[in-house]
């Protein structure tokens, strides 16, 4: 039976969103840019990246914070700034 059929029969609403990182990883943001990557929990952020500010960490693709960080980034002091315009 398909997932859609199960949801329809059970009255459940199923939501499948792609996670930003896999289990055992956390996302980091490129300083001065909108690029991001995932780092193993046991590692520090690589040079040129920082952890996202508390409470502003994207969890799933296209969630509130994932979309926010498309137009914002962090400077070398960890302050939130407007992202540079691509071009």
- For 85, the token pair is 């315009």
Q: Report d(CA 39, CA 45) in Å as an integer.
A: 7
Tens-place pLDDT, residues 28-75: 999 999 999 999 999 999 999 999 999 999 999 999 999 999 999 999
Q: Does residue 77 carry a pLDDT above 50?
A: yes
Helix, strand, coil percentages (3-state) for the chain, rounded to 5, are 15, 25, 60
Render the burial of 27-39: b for 16+ CB within 10 Å, e for the rest.
bbbbbeeeebeeb
Local confidence band at 85 (pLDDT 50, 70, 90 cut-offs): confident
Q: Does residue 4 carry a pLDDT above 90?
A: no
């Amino acid at each position: 039976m398909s997932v859609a059929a199960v949801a329809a029969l059970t009255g459940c609403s199923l939501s499948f969103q792609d996670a930003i990182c896999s289990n055992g990883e956390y996302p980091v943001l490129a300083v001065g840019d909108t690029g991001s990557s995932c780092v193993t929990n046991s590692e520090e952020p690589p040079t040129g990246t920082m952890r996202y500010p508390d409470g502003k960490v994207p969890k799933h693709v296209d969630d509130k914070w994932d979309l926010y960080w498309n137009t914002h980034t962090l400077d070398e002091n960890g302050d939130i700034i407007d992202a540079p315009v691509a071009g």
